[in-house]
Chain A
Amino acid sequence: MNATSTPASYIARYMLGGAPHLLPVGARECQRAEEFFARVIREEDVARGRKALIIATLAEAATMLPFERALIKMGLIVCNAEASPYDGARTEATLRRFDVAVIAPVCGTALDAIAVTGFDAALLFRGKIVWAKPDVYARLQNAPGIDLRRWLDLGPVTALETRHGGGLLVDGREWRVEPEGNATYVSSRLDRAMPFERLRIPVAVKLNEHTYNANLPGPRVII
């Protein structure tokens, strides 16, 4: 990590090896992330006025704040539930009461919290686009009727599957991703409040750099 002149707009965190690390986020990089997510959501052909449910915590603000803004920008109304063992009832109530089109990013804690309330997430998620973290993807991939997509955090980098498949899209303008053996190295390409230079992520991926059908700035990572 190098010094930077970009002021932090807010402080969030990223996870590495199971440990949290402080992550200052600047206004311009947040704006760029919003644009990236908006392009992904635009591909989904979701009608304006429908709802999106974000299940996360404030600590994930580096990704979730621009994701939320992108959803709003695309005309969706955003509901939130906490990714905690206590908030399954709110998740269930939101899905029951509102016409939710998109749910993201579902982690194991959120899925367990729904089960504690006596509901089956596989039924609640039917007919919706669900971006799921790897453990949840494995648990839901055989459930019928869910438009299931992968969501992966590579340290400070977010990769998410689009409807075009072919791997999980990374904002290639913002990040350089280099798979090496059983690890992945990520570097920032633009000015950030906290720049990264070959940050080692202990996750093995392959790169798919083929041109997309859609106008989305790759590459895609395959896990």
Chain B
Amino acid sequence: MVEAAEIKSFTLRAPDHFDPHAETMPRHEIEALQTRRLEELLPRVYAHSALIRRVWDAAGVSPEDINSLADFKARVPFIDKDAIRAHRDRFGDPYGGIRIVDDSAVETVGFTSGTTGDPTPVPNGITNAVEVSHLRELWHSGGRPGDYIVHMMFTFRGGQSRNNFYNAAGLTPIMIPHNPTELPFLIQALKTYRPSVLYMLSTPLLIALEQYFEKTGDDPREIFNSVKGASFGGEPLSPRFAALVKDWGLELFEHSSLGDVSGMTECSAHDGMHGWEDLALVECLDDAGHEVSDGELGELTVTSLADPVAPLIRYRTEDLVRVNRAPCVCGRTHVRIWPVGRKGDRTTVQGKPVLPRDIQKLVERHRETRASLFQIVRPKPEMEVLHVRAGYDPEATADASELAARLTAELGTAFEVSVRVELVSNAELLKLGPPQKIPRVTKQ
């Protein structure tokens, strides 16, 4: 339990909040707001979302049955990505039956990243919950009106004009593609405009930055000395990169998607990512759909509370997380979330569970594989041998077979299972997926 004095002490040191009332409202106010938003939203969703109406009708539920948060959690059926895809394919609706407005209210179509297969189109209106959460997070990591902000993202997240909200908050974005080949341009922009926030870094970009500083001799502390905060996303930050980036003088704020409803990002306390509960109803559920206690492992399940175009209702994300709803020392009262891995990435080897992040911290210890590029090759979830395809730097490797033997021994000792290590060059592994997200688990 966090003491009030501790919160006060930390809040005095930490940057203040972009929207103090919303970010620090007491839990009973959060829940009252969620109830009001659901009361307003659910009849509209039931009336206009073909997927939700079909799923609710099959479960014998209608909006009139939902009069409280407790009703909602007890009665409303779940949807997931498979349900959206199945609806899309069965009825020929590209949006998978989640859109609740006609196309005249849609300006752009964004896409999910495609982590679990076919990218899902997501219709966007003029505003959305992502902007609200993004501004809160930028402010907390040091962005202020008048500042330049590096915006290093993908256009498929919603296009170019979805970034107008930066100007509305007095910020000037520097638009850079999220691609390691863009690094010299990023450095040029950092030197010229001295931005205060860098959004966002990923493992491939950190690998490229490390190589850049080694080759050029540029001082990273000098390059980054205007940057008060940088977001990191795509996958968990590895311990080696966390230490490396700290040495560059960068404060990293880990960031992830809140089930395609919004974003979630660490605060200055670096003790979990805040999910905004005025924008999304967050549940952490066991396999049977029952809420687990704070601190226990469960599946992140989200409901959009501020999406007027395509709200997701009780959407099971397949993200395994732990949550804590106790107030944070930063003063925020919204749930903190610790992502553990993807449900589909859970692998059992000789009866023992293995997740990619467990392998990551072992692989990156070695000079030759420090880039931490690897995959679990898993034809089926249960295996007798842990098959790891590890990327290595040929220039840093004297004897590849010795490296393979060393990794095999270390992984075998750590997990107490049989291990097979397959080495491929880092460059080869980066061809297997987009630079921001190498598939960590693959069937072949």
Contacts and interface: CB of A to CB of B under 8 A. Distances in A.
Contact of A77 (B109, B166, B174): B109
A57 B109 contact: no
Given A57-B155, A86-B435, A10 B175 contact: yes
Interface string B37-69: 000000000000000000000000000000000
Contacts of A49: 103-104
Interface stretch (A87-95, A128-136, A151-159): A87-95
**SS class of chain A's interface: helix, strand, loop or mixed?**
mixed
A97 B107 CA distance: 17
A82 B160 contact: no
B108 A72 contact: yes
B176 A9 contact: no
B158 interface: yes
Given A57-B177, A77-B109, A90-B114, A10 B167 contact: yes
Interface string B112-150: 001000110101000000000000000000000000100
B433 interface: yes
B161 A72 contact: yes
A208 B155 CA distance: 35
A82 B192 contact: no
A72 B173 CA distance: 21
B187 to A, nearest CB: 11
A195 B94 CA distance: 43
Interface string A70-98: 00100001111110101101100110011
Contact of B155 (A11, A54, A69): A54
Given A72-B161, A77-B106, A89-B119, A11 B174 contact: yes
Category for how many chain B residues contact A? 35 or more
B74 to A, nearest CB: 36
Interface size range of chain A in the complex: 35 or more
Contacts of A65: 160-161, 163
B389 interface: no
A86 to B, nearest CB: 4
A11 B434 contact: no
Given A10-B163, A11-B172, A97-B94, A81 B435 contact: no
Nearest to B171: A10
A14 B123 CA distance: 30
B110 interface: yes
A58 interface: yes
Contact of B111 (A8, A10, A90): A90
B161 A68 contact: yes
Nearest to A56: B155
Given A9-B172, A68-B108, A80-B108, A90 B119 contact: yes
Nearest to B107: A72
A94 B106 CA distance: 16
Contacts of A207: none
B373 to A, nearest CB: 15
Given A64-B160, A90-B114, A10 B174 contact: yes
Contacts of B104: 49
A94 B185 CA distance: 30
Given A59-B177, A65-B161, A79-B121, A90 B109 contact: no
Contacts of B108: 68, 72, 77-80
B227 to A, nearest CB: 15
A12 interface: yes
B185 A59 contact: yes
A78 B114 contact: no
A80 B175 contact: no
B423 to A, nearest CB: 23
A112 to B, nearest CB: 13
A54 B177 contact: no
Contacts of B179: 57, 84
Given A20-B185, A97-B121, A10 B155 contact: no
Contacts of B248: none
A86 B439 CA distance: 13
Interface string A120-141: 0000000000000000000000
B155 A93 contact: no
A57 B175 CA distance: 9
Closest 6 CB pairs of A and B: A57-B177, A58-B175, A65-B160, A86-B434, A11-B174, A97-B94
Interface of B: 94, 103-104, 106-111, 114, 118-119, 121, 123, 148, 151-161, 163, 166-167, 172-177, 179, 182, 185, 188-189, 192-193, 433-435
Given A72-B108, A79-B121, A86-B433, 19 more contacts: A10-B166, A10-B172, A11-B148, A11-B175, A22-B192, A27-B167, A56-B160, A57-B155, A58-B152, A59-B185, A68-B108, A79-B111, A82-B154, A82-B177, A87-B156, A90-B111, A90-B119, A94-B109, A98-B94
13 contacts: A9-B167, A11-B174, A12-B175, A22-B193, A54-B160, A58-B151, A58-B176, A68-B161, A77-B106, A78-B108, A81-B156, A82-B177, A86-B433
